[in-house]
Chains A and B, each alone.
Chain A
Amino acid sequence: MTTVEAAKFHLAWFKSFTPHDWRSTWSGSEERDWMTGDSHVDFLRALERARFDFLMLEDSLMVSDTYGGTAEASLAQGGYAPKGDPALLASMLLSETKRIGVIATMSSTFVPPWLLARTSATIDHLSGGRFGWNCVTSSENRAAQNFGMDALPPHDERYERAAEYVEVVKQLWDSWEPDAFVMDQESGTYVDHTKVNPIHFEGRWHRSRGPLNLMRPPQGHPVICQAGGSPAGKAFAAGNADVLLSLPKGLPDMKRYRDDIRELAEKAGRDPDDIKVLFIISPILADTDDEARELQAMMNSDVEAKIKAQMVNWSATMEIDFSRFDLDRPLPDDAVTNGHQSTLATFRKFANGRTLREAFTAYRTEAIEVVGSPATAADTLQEAMEFVGGDGFLVMGPTNRRYVHEITDGLVPELQRRGLVRTEYAGTHLRDHLREF
């Protein structure tokens, strides 16, 4: 029997600049000063020790008061707000690590492109090429109202704007050629001005003269990350993204989604291996499988609380007041959103006529359920990747230290022993990590 080396996959973590996990038994005492960033530094170091590709920091720009017409439930729960600026946290975290990447969310609808190009170029320099931008178009009118608009542009128009936005930003990064910086003592030339040029970008929605006032970022273009399941979102991602957070659930849909993206990328003239599709997981780990299942049952035992938490979150992101609906009937047909369209569509498909109570009870955010001992969890992940074809997983879970260490010091070593994830970083830039395998 010949041994075939298993194909490696990527690991990343998904989190917001929010408190870690203030209600669990293992929350520690960091829930008052999480905004200093100190505990996040420890968290990122743990991920680096486990050789994760990156930490992705999500963002939103509002306090939601959709659920029940008040901010009460959303703020009581925490998690959605309060939330700090992820780009600033990224800068701090990267300065305390050497190899791991950090991707921060910034909205193409609200941040002026020149500002975004410069901030991300700065952080890419400060980190030696380990920064990424998660490009979102934002999905809430409440956020738009914080920025002086009455409402967001319609869903598909936001993607058209975003496509143009990414184009301006890339041109700004490119406005300094890689060899513009010469520092030639003899001719007294610090920067060669012939290699720094205005871009004179005149688009339908965006204008910028340029150039940027900063050298080209070490990665050329910082990594671009995207999440999008709608046709407009997928087309946009296939053309621009280095890495995708993907929403489909269950192995067949996961595979279909990844195949789709790879095909779209190829059509857009890109090498499909240059786009990595990562799937969300929230492993529940314990010493034994029985114990893990027991834990899962405990976590799901408070059905009412679970349903409410999910509804409060979706009320925020979709701006649909879920508190109005009868839990014992299916989701009404006229519930529509200008926000997370594919999430809602996926949920409808998943519910398949079931009542909201039934559907929410069964619903999960993660792509596949991962429950068991580290060995069992590793089996699940290995089988999933063999079926889907790649490219890895994005862990979404409470970031109390206990849980983080179960992943980094329990699950990851098991995956490493099987040769499924890296044991050392090969490259220095975030994009190197993504393209390593």
Chain B
Amino acid sequence: MTVRLIVGVLAVLAAACGPAQGAGEGVEGRIVVSAAASLTDAFAAVAVAFEEAHPGVSVALNIAGSSLLREQIREGAPVDVFASANTANMDQLVASGDVVAPEIFASNLLAIGVPAGNSAGVDGLDDFADEALLIGLCTRDVPCGEFGRLILARAGVVPALDTDEPDVRALLTKIEAGELDAGIVYVTDVASSAGVDGIPIDPKDNIVAEYPIARLTGSANPETGDAFVAFVLSAGGQEILGRFGFVVP
């Protein structure tokens, strides 16, 4: 997680040091896209496709938990586009004037993630109360942690937690390594990881996570930022997201 964060921060710094982009120059130059951890693989593919469609444009992805990304933006990080894994973080930026009119570009469901083979024999949310199992969630401040807690509350389960991971990728890594017996992750995470099996969550307890995207008002390269947002919402962008297991509007 920290490694990615550092890479992200470097990307942000590198972008800040690059040549200034004036308005009206069209779609070109470099943009920094801050994207939620659950978008890691999908946005890497989206960024490549966008760069192919617009020669001369380069996209730097800054990946972390949505709430950390929100804080970076509030502290003035030179970011052009923000894609959050929940609406709450985006709404805070709308309130602070950092973005206007975000749009929902995808949604995702949550699932129970267990190490491939499910050696602990987890079969439902009830197992999250088992003290003998090693159970992890994301911290309550990132969307996957907020949703995981809501789902458990709806199911009436008080989890016997062993760790609050800083973002969904960190949680997934520990499940993949077999160090945790179960956690609540996104359906797309289960789809992307060979080392993790998914157990569906009863639709009455599950949550549909909506992903909003917006170009920042303080973007140094607004044309390219807008073009990226439009690309994510276009048929081509949506097709890529669908391939990674996201539900597209």
A and B: interacting chains? no
Residues of B whose CB lies within 8 Å of any CB of A are: none
Using a CB–CB distance below 8 Å, which chain A residues touch chain B?
Answer: none
